[in-house]
Amino acid sequence: MAGAPASFFGDGASAISSYVDILASRGIDWGLIGPREGERLWERHVLNSVAGAGLLPEGASVVDVGSGAGLPGLPLAILRPDLRVTLLESLLRRVSFLELAVEELGLADRVSVVRGRAEEHRAQYDVVTSRAVAPLPRLLGWCLPLVAPGGRVVALKGSTAGAELEDARGLLRRKGLVGEVHRLVVPVSGEETFAVVVGR
Ligand SMILES: C[S@@+](CC[C@H](N)C(=O)[O-])C[C@H]1O[C@@H](n2cnc3c(N)ncnc32)[C@H](O)[C@@H]1O
């Protein structure tokens, strides 16, 4: 599957292929990616990460909360050279992996890596994104303080998106915020996935 999915990234085709190689080698060796995930990196992780790229405004500053091995932050940064991306991750080994990957992929001019917990981070961004980190109500508790005025949270979710949004309704009402589920199509595979977008 390596040819077609890489070409979806246009000028970033070579960078995204290098990133997938890094995930399949160091990512598995360092225990960030399960050994059985090697086969499914493109569909399940890389292409899934960019399904919501259209929800990010041109030129936005973006923080990827709980970035792990760089998902969705690194595929988004490669697909969208207009974005400035911060990868926020609490675990040292993952941070070391991210720093090496950013350097090797030549993205250091607009992708930075920060070690820290989201709830202790003190900066604001146009978009706060996150994938597979925590249920929406807890995630919003961490992410909402990181949203700059006029910005939004874009939480990548699977089929639980609607139920998680219902669980967060009370919190959103108290804060005067609006939440919506967006149905997304994963590029190349055509699979369905979802994002919850929260803003004013
Ligand atoms: C299941 S992994 C998901 C990683 C990646 N987002 C993905 O989709 O593959 C969750 C990641 O969130 C990080 N994490 C969990 N709680 C966090 C917090 N409060 N602040 C920052 N990172 C956190 C973990 O260390 C882990 O790397």
User: Would you say 136 and 164 are in contact if contact means Cβ atoms under 8 Å apart?
Assistant: yes
- Name residues of the chain where pLDDT drops below 50: 1-2
115 occurs within a structural domain: yes
Phi, psi (deg, nearest 5) at residue 126: -65, -35
13 occurs within a structural domain: no
Domain of residue 171, CATH code:
3.40.50.150
Phi, psi (deg, nearest 5) at residue 146: -90, -5
187 occurs within a structural domain: yes
Q: Model confidence over 122-140: pLDDT tens digits?
A: 999 999 999 999 999 999 9
Q: What is the DSSP letter of 197?
A: E
Task: Report how far residue 181's alpha carbon sits from residue 40's, in angstroms, rounded to the nearest whole number.
Answer: 25
Predicted pLDDT at 2: 45
78 occurs within a structural domain: yes
Predicted pLDDT at 110: 98
14 occurs within a structural domain: no
17 occurs within a structural domain: no
Residue type at 4 in one-letter notation: A
User: Would you say 82 and 49 are in contact if contact means Cβ atoms under 8 Å apart?
Assistant: no
CA distances from 128 to 55, 93, 191 (A): 11, 23, 24
| 68 CB near ligand 1 (under 6 Å) | yes
| 158 CB near ligand 1 (under 6 Å) | no
d(CA 121, ligand 1 centre) in Å: 14
The domain total for the chain is 1
Predicted pLDDT at 95: 98
Pocket residue to mutate for ligand 1, from 90, 120, 186, most atoms within 8 A of Cβ: 90
Pocket residue to mutate for ligand 1, from 74, 97, 133, 186, most atoms within 8 A of Cβ: 133
62 occurs within a structural domain: yes
| DSSP string computed for 130-148 | EESSS-HHHHHHHHGGGEE
Phi, psi (deg, nearest 5) at residue 139: -60, -40
Domain holding 53, by residue range, is 48-199
How crowded is residue 44: how many other Cβ atoms within 10 Å of its Cβ?
A: 15
In this structure, the residue with its CA closest to atom 23 of ligand 1 is: 66
CA distances from 24 to 4, 18, 32, 131 (A): 18, 10, 10, 19
Closest CA to 42 of 76, 64, 17: 17
Residue identified by tokens 């999915």 is 5
34 occurs within a structural domain: no
